[in-house]
Amino acid sequence: MEIPETLHCLFSARATTQDETMTIEVPAREVERGEVTPGEVYRVAILAPVKGEDAPAKSQPKATSAQATDAETPPVAEGEERTVEIEGIGDQGDGIDRVERGFVVIVPETSEDERVTIEITDVRQTVAFAEVLSRQPYYE
């Protein structure tokens, strides 16, 4: 894929539909960096989901009891590998990323906005811990 030099930012987001309007949430970091200005109009390219990622739901049916149980189960598992972007730094100085449903993954020895491939080492009901396997360039 050819990426034009006029590209302002690149991120993954979930598109939601309400009535006849589609909304894409822009990460706050893109606004903070000055890449995106609230209220401006931008051209947006939509790419197909990466294999293994959840595809956006076309509708939001009521949750079944099986789905409710899934919502209570952490969305990560020990030994799982993922590439993530560190969203912030916690009180103890560790990197923090949020994955599906806002579930927190703590990654020591990382910096905010750093892209890293991690391995989940410990999963608890409300938080998981991971170690860095490799560091990735931001736009890889």
- Do you know the residue count of the chain? 140
Q: What does the block give as tokens for 139? A: 């736009």
With 0-12 CB in 10 A as exposed, 13-18 as middle and 19+ as buried, what is 106? middle
Pairwise pLDDT comparison (82 vs 67), residue with the higher score? 82
127 lies in a domain?
yes
Which residues on neighbouring strands pair with residue 118, listed in sequence order?
82, 132
What pLDDT, in 10s, does the model give residues 30-45? 777 777 788 888 777 7
In this structure, the answer to whether residues 54 and 102 fall within a common structural domain is: no
Give the CATH number for residue 127: 2.40.50.140
What is the pLDDT at residue 84? 92
DSSP 58-88: SS-PPPPHHHHHHHHS-S--TT-EEEEE--E
Cα separation values, 112 from 89, 90, 102, 115, Å = 6, 10, 17, 9
**What's 80's DSSP letter?**
-
Mean pLDDT computed over 19-40: 80
Mean pLDDT computed over 5-18: 72
pLDDT band at 52 (very low <50, low <70, confident <90, very high): low
Which residues on neighbouring strands pair with residue 137, listed in sequence order?
none
pLDDT band at 67 (very low <50, low <70, confident <90, very high): very low
Residue 89 contacts by C-beta under 8 Å, 6 or more apart in sequence?
Answer: 95, 96, 111, 112
CB 128 within 8 A of CB 97: no
What is the pLDDT at residue 102? 84
CA distance 85 to 107: 10
Average pLDDT, the chain: 78
In this structure, the answer to whether residues 131 and 79 fall within a common structural domain is: yes
Share of the chain above pLDDT 70, in %: 71
Token look-up 């991690």 returns: 118
In this structure, the answer to whether residues 92 and 40 fall within a common structural domain is: no
Q: Which of 36, 61, 86 is the last residue of a domain?
A: 61
What is the pLDDT at residue 34? 75
44 lies in a domain?
yes
What is the pLDDT at residue 5? 65
What pLDDT, in 10s, does the model give residues 80-130? 999 999 999 988 899 999 988 888 999 999 999 999 999 999 999 889 999
69 lies in a domain?
no
What is the pLDDT at residue 25? 80
